[in-house]
Structure 1
Amino acid sequence: MSAVDEILSQVDLDQLAQQVGADPADVEQAARTALPALLGGLDANAADPAGAASLAEALGQHDPALVEGGVDLGQVDPAEGDKIAQHIFGDNRDQVVSQLGGISGSAGKGIVAKLIPILAPIVLSWLAKKVLGGAADASRSPSASAGGGGLGDILGQVLGGATKGTQSGGVDTGSIITDVLGGLLGAGRR
């Protein structure tokens, strides 16, 4: 199961559609476009030692329990998600949303813009679950070290595979990261 499928399997798409005021099919299509962008942005940020350290700190603050047994969208703070998205995409956020909105078809950038702040905390909790393996605890924050099984190695395995080859409505969303976001994010925002 791809990372996108794994994350979406924990989200009630009908409830998410109600929350953003859109059709469930459009929300699913937009989410399948936005999730690889969030994962790819995290991967780009983690490529830099300072970005990896910042991500390690963030993972220690996100409870993996959010994605266990289904996400309770009432527990997701869009204001926090907005801050996460701003950190991931930086000054390029509007451009990223615009590009993703164009790729997600009829759903458009309005739905993508509403989804990103909801999906961002879910993505960090999912990643914390993959990296930490249990409940978040500041004393268990992963090491930002790039070598010897540190966060860099784990992120390479989790995020590297998370953004490759996922299909969304005939679009290879892995190419979104390469073609669309690559130029906008460069080596990632620190």
Structure 2
Amino acid sequence: MAAFDDLLRQVPISQIAQKLGVDDATAEGVVKQALPTLLGRLDRNAQDSQGAESLAHALDGRDTTLADREIDMDEVDTNDGEKIVDRILGEDKDTAIHALAGSSGGGDESLVSKVLPMIAPIVMAYLAKQYMGSKGGLGGVLGSVLGGQQSQGGLGGMLGGLLGGGKN
């Protein structure tokens, strides 16, 4: 869970809240729900050889500078984030957004749909940095970040199961 907490600390909650026009607690709640969903789906995608190869290729070519310093949300490419979210969630994107909105307390699907592309490039930069420095391979990197989140269940586990990636 330390790796998940490390990733969460890198997400500039106050800046996201400001961009969304919400308070920090609302933004943090959505981010805390969305991160396990993205990570769980990446883990699911990496379970087959083609998905693992595709993810490894994406991480190999990813710029890790977002993971190397304090993040300024003005430097996060949300267009790239939208593409990442589309690739990760695929046809389940609307289902995931609906489920996240229902569980984040606000019930605002537009808020969730804005947060996902904001955090996706941060997630990928973080994973790329971990992957490049890892001897445990892709599964080891995802497992270390997901560690505590999968066992805690909650929305990440529920959505993982709903989307086919649950390992509770």
TM over 0.5: yes
| % same residue | 40
- TM-score, length-normalised on structure 1? 0.77
Aligned to 2:61: 61
Q: Which has the higher helix share?
A: 2
- The structure with the largest alpha-carbon Rg is 1
CA RMSD of aligned residues (A): 2.3
CA distance in 1, matches of 2:148, 2:81: 20
Aligned to 2:164: 186
Equivalent residues in 2 for 1:8-157 (5 A)? Answer: 8-106=8-106, 108-133=108-133, 149-152=136-139, 154-157=140-143
CA distance in 2, matches of 1:180, 1:104: 13
Paired AA for residue 26 in structure 1: T
Deviations along 1:41-76, whole A, 9 cap, x unmatched?
A: 100000011000110011012222212231121221
CA distance in 2, matches of 1:84, 1:114: 13
- Give the CA deviation at 1:5: 2.4
CA distance in 1, matches of 2:144, 2:78: 24
Deviations along 1:105-159, whole A, 9 cap, x unmatched?
A: 12632221110001111001111111113xxxxxxxx9xxxxx94433x235324
Whether contact under 8 Å (1:22, 1:111) holds in the other structure is: no
Whether contact under 8 Å (1:67, 1:125) holds in the other structure is: yes
* Paired residues, number: 166
- Give the CA deviation at 1:160: 4.0
Aligned to 1:168: none
What runs of 5+ residues in structure 2 fail to find an aligned partner?
none
CA distance in 2, matches of 1:156, 1:125: 13
Q: Which runs of 4+ in 1 moved over 3 A?
A: 1-4
What runs of 5+ residues in structure 1 fail to find an aligned partner?
134-141, 143-147, 166-171
Aligned to 2:147: 161
Paired AA for residue 51 in structure 1: G
3-state DSSP of counterpart to 2:123: helix
CA distance in 2, matches of 1:112, 1:149: 32
- Segment drifting more, 14-23 vs 121-130: 14-23
Matched, 1:177 2:163: no
CA distance in 1, matches of 2:28, 2:4: 11
